[in-house]
Structure 1
Amino acid sequence: MKNYKFRLSTFALLCFSTVAFYSCSSDDNSDTSDPIPTENPLNLAPNYTVDRSKLVFIKPDLKHFTNPNLQWKVIEQKNVVKDSLISQDTQLDFVALKDGKYTIAVEAKDNKTTVNQEFDIIVQKESQPYSSKITKVFEYRPSYGQYVNKLPKYEEGDTQETMNQKAEDNLVNDKMITLGGFGGYVIFGFDHTIVNVPGKRDFRVLGNAFPNSSEPGIVMLAYDKNQNGKPDDDEWYEIKGSEYANPKTIHNYEITFYKPSAKLDAINKGFDEYIKYKNNQGEEGYKAKNSYHNQSYYPLWINEESITFKGSKLPNNATDIGGNGNNWKLPAYEYGYVDNHPKYHDESAFDIAWAIDKQGNSVKLPGIDFIKVYNAMDQEAGWFGETSTEVVGAWDLHEKGINIETRK
């Protein structure tokens, strides 16, 4: 076993551009081919500079290792702080909420060699204050629904780009948009990374829920891992809500809605056979149009004759408590969904630590740059109409100065 140990001294940090070599030893003298450099073996800079709440990506040179295991730790005043292990990935994706100097210790190890090295990350205060709210809508694509084309308002000639902008204008100003029926979604971002702070909830998504009127939407998270400024399909993780393991939750649900004819859209009254649908559970039929909203329920800027949505379908929560179709109750689920509890309730706030991957495994994200919310309900409640998730805005709780403990 080879064992290399390195320490970045203050003198080296101030005076040299390479990481100072501290000591080197080997207990395997038989392997002398392509030796690891004694100075800066991982090819890391002595220090990195980044604004607070911005990601910095640090990739060591691992060409001398075979399937190495890595551990990255934060060192504070030469003592390891509590929960100092921040990553075990081959690349460190680092973000800090507070400015200051962070000394990082990295260990790279395979079955022959161990290297330990230290360096500093200098986190500085941003030159322009961050917004605590949404600053960008990347895509707004609602499903069918009685408020579609109204929240925000469609006008003839609007395109996907102009509707994205209208949704952005609403959300930046904490004004409502509808996601329509199942699968309708919005993707938005911020002018900084929302930091994953241990033990705290990190962000809030505002809806318009009130007691016994819950229309839950699922939350997806992403951080800009490839640094292209866009939320890419392979970067998403799901907030694991209370109903994730409910046997009535249908994962990998898929439904297609078909564009109604202009003749049907022109009928200014309620009727049952309006928008045709077909799902992957062997069901097909029609979604109704009610007498309260006469505009088209199909997003008019979408030219395709059908739209398909995929995701997890939560169990129905609507009950006709009067038995005559006039009094509907839609109770909230416990936690983990948008438009589920009132917008200033603690359960409208989310912890990034609740994120899971596609296999349902917990993941440790440094922070997030993008959020996607989609409607996870496919049900109608009489005169109340389709269950449609609404979004009113989103906040970085740390930038707002709001301190909410995570769930125990």
Structure 2
Amino acid sequence: MVLGMVSCNDDDDKVVPEPEPVITLDSETGVYLVKVGRQLVINPTVEHDKGAYYSWIIEGKLVGMEKSYTFSSDTCGKVFVIFRVETKNGAAEEEMRVDVAELAPPVISLMMPAGGLKVLANTDYKLNPDVQNREGATYKWTLEDQVVSTDSCYIFNQPELGHYTISLEVINEDGKGEKTIDIDVVDQMPYKVEFDKPTYFAENNERSVFSGKTIYLQPSLEYFMAPAYVWTIDGREVDNGGKALFAYTPDAAGEYTIGVKVTETANSGPQIITRNIIRTGSASVESTVKVICYGTEDSRKRPVTAASSALWNKVYEYCPAPGQFINETKTGGFLGNEITHEQAVAYAEERLKPGNVWVSLGGFGGYIVVGFDHSIENKGGFDGYDFSITGNQFEGSSEPGIVWVMQDVNGNLLPDDEWYELKGSETDKEETVQEYAVTYYRPAGPGMKVEWTDMNGKTGSIDYLIEYHSQPYYYPNWIKEDSYTLKGTCLKARNVQDPTTGFWDNQSFDWGYADNFGQDKADGDNAEAGPLQTYFKIGNAINRDGSPANLKYIDFIKVQTGTNAKSGWLGEQSTEVLSFEDKNMSK
């Protein structure tokens, strides 16, 4: 019994060892963020650290010996930091990552008309800039050296005609952004009337028509509210019922000068219409276009020969709207140095050559123009169809492209004649908008959305998807102007999001559109988003008034993104094309 009692007392006197240290970082993820030149204090919690030695290690070098560490770096990047705690009872170690980012001063973007900003006297004009990195920022608007506002937007209104300069200064903790806006206060807006060129980069604006055919002319207007039209042929006034669209059938081959005088008839006082501009008053503006009438339609037809290819042979123009794959060097395949129209065309040609690699047309209005080494006849040799356009559409992923065709009427082997839209299932529907125009504005800094305004004064943007892309700009690098306008037919979008899954369904249209999973596609569900042809009939070509064009053949094809829509995290709807083929030559 005595021996047993002694044994129990020995157990009670045993010393329990101190536990090893335990480190808890003050970042749940173990990742810290700091900007260049700024200090970051990392202050972890350590348990059981009596008599501890602390070590902070970066790239194998001891940089600190305190319980907390103040980090700073003059260069961007990711830095891995090791924190080690040692006591006589053991050691603990944690690795963390510090992401060093650039300073983010404000970047100011403001949509400005290509011809400069003009505002009527005694009229409100709201300047509402898009400012990147605006969190916690202060604003200062200065007009002629006087501070006039400290709000994020400013209402400009001046009674005196003349030139005014407004400066905007936005300051946040990282720095300052500045923007200067020049405004001309006028008593009448600069009304403008002009005939559109067939393509954005066209050299001239002569129009061509075959003998016995009708050409349809309609000018584009700026600033008019209630225009009235008077048309002339070689200076002789003709009765067109005051309509904007003029159908002209020349009597014989030759050159004709078609003129139009547009008069503003609104005189009921100021009214607000497109682009935040308020217009009033009256004006008459004239414009002319030369129409050249050539011989018969058959005289320009280029027949199929033994050397002819069923596939397209040349890209003539590539003018996309801004979009997530424009300038993108990975999935989009750009080199990143395309700064001329010729380089952009070369990019598109190289992408299309294999026939299974897509070219993106960006948002609404973006287009591509291709040609063939022969004329494609209107004979429906492939189950009633004449040619095909390959896209990457599949069920739930249709991004419809409007298809246009052209004949080489003037015989110069260039697409500078008349475009004819191919009728589709949506052509005659009320929600389909003909002659729809969108102007895109260059963003002020990298990673910013591209803002746009349309012909009706509606505004929007092509959003920058930082999660998926890293190119600085969605705005095409080779467009020199700070804004450009694309015009075409706009369909009502059919994109819906599932409220439960969050997935987007870009629903298809019945028929008549490229990159569309409609009734006129090749067989197959194409679940892998591979190349899939859609078939087209030249007989569906229509004039600008909707009447049949009755073309015997075509020489050029244009595809143009036909919706102005975006699908959340998927980004903007943008037509993709992979190839073009004369199906009359197919076996």
| Higher Rg of the two aligned structures | 2
1:276 corresponding residue in structure 2: 451
State how far apart, in whole Å, the 1-side matches of 2:550 and 2:482 are: 40
Of the three residues 465, 479, 482, the one matched with 1:305 is 482
Partners of 1:378 and 1:387 within 8 A in 2:
yes
Q: 3-state SS of the aligned residue for 2:352?
A: helix
**Equivalence map 1:1-400=2 (5 Å):** 91-94=295-298, 126=305, 128-150=306-328, 151-156=332-337, 158-174=339-355, 175-198=357-380, 200-232=384-416, 234-262=417-445, 265=446, 267=447, 274-290=449-465, 291-295=467-471, 296-322=473-499, 326-341=502-517, 344-345=522-523, 348-400=534-586
| Fraction of identical pairs, as percent | 36
TM-score (ref. length: structure 1): 0.64
Deviations along 1:149-182, one digit per CA (max 9) or x if unpaired, are 1334042254110110121122232121000000
Distance 1:125 1:210, change over 3 A: closer
The runs of 4+ residues in structure 1 deviating greater than 4 Å are 57-60
Higher share of residues assigned strand: 2
What SS class does the counterpart of residue 348 from structure 1 fall into?
Answer: strand
Give, in angstroms, the shift of residue 320 of structure 1.
0.8
8 Å contact from structure 1 (residues 134, 172) kept in 2: no
Q: Distance in 1 between matches of 2:393 and 2:508?
A: 9
In structure 2, how many angstroms separate the alpha carbons of the residues matched to 1:124 and 1:95? 11
Change in CA separation of 1:366 and 1:125 when aligned onto 2, cut-off 3 Å: closer
* Amino acid across the alignment from 1:260: P
Following superposition, the deviation at residue 258 of structure 1 comes to 0.8
Cα distance per residue 1:290-344 (max 9 Å; x no partner): 12112121111212111211111100110012356x2111111000000002863
Larger relative contact order (C-alpha < 8 A, sep ≥ 6)? 1
Q: For residues 67 and 231 of structure 1, do their structure 2 counterparts lie closer, same or farther at Cα, with a shift above 3 Å needed?
A: closer
Q: Secondary structure at the match of 1:289?
A: coil
Structure 1, residues 352-383: CA drift from partner, whole Å, max 9, x if none?
00000111110111111100100011111111
Equivalents in 2 of 1:124, 1:311: separation in Å? 31
Query: If the length of structure 2 is used for normalisation, what is the TM-score?
Result: 0.45
> d(CA) in 1 for partners of 2:586 and 2:476?
34
Tell me how far apart the structure 1 counterparts of residues 423 and 374 of structure 2 sit (CA, whole Å).
Answer: 24
Whether contact under 8 Å (1:95, 1:367) holds in the other structure is no
Task: Return the alpha-carbon distance in structure 2 between the equivalents of residues 241 and 124 of structure 1.
Answer: 28
Shift of residue 124 of structure 1?
8.3
Letter in 2 for 1:167: A
Q: Post-superposition shift, 1:247? A: 1.1
**1:3-40 alpha-carbon deviations (Å, 9 max, x no partner):** xxxxxxxxxxxxxxxxxxxxxxxxxxxxxxxxxxxxxx
Distance 1:58 1:377 in 2: 33
- 1:286, CA displacement in angstroms? 2.9
- Give the aligned partner of residue 118 of structure 1: none
Letter in 1 for 2:460: G
RMSD between superposed Cα atoms in Å: 2.9
CA pair 130-249 structure 1, distance change in 2 beyond 3 A: same
Gaps of 5+ in 1: 1-56, 61-65, 69-88, 98-122, 268-272, 402-408
Whole-angstrom distance in 2 between the partners of 1:312 and 1:278: 16
- Deviation string for 1:258-278 (max 9, x for gaps)? 11123xx1x4xxxxx621111
For structure 2, the residue ranges without an aligned partner over 5 or more in a row are 1-208, 213-249, 253-292, 524-531
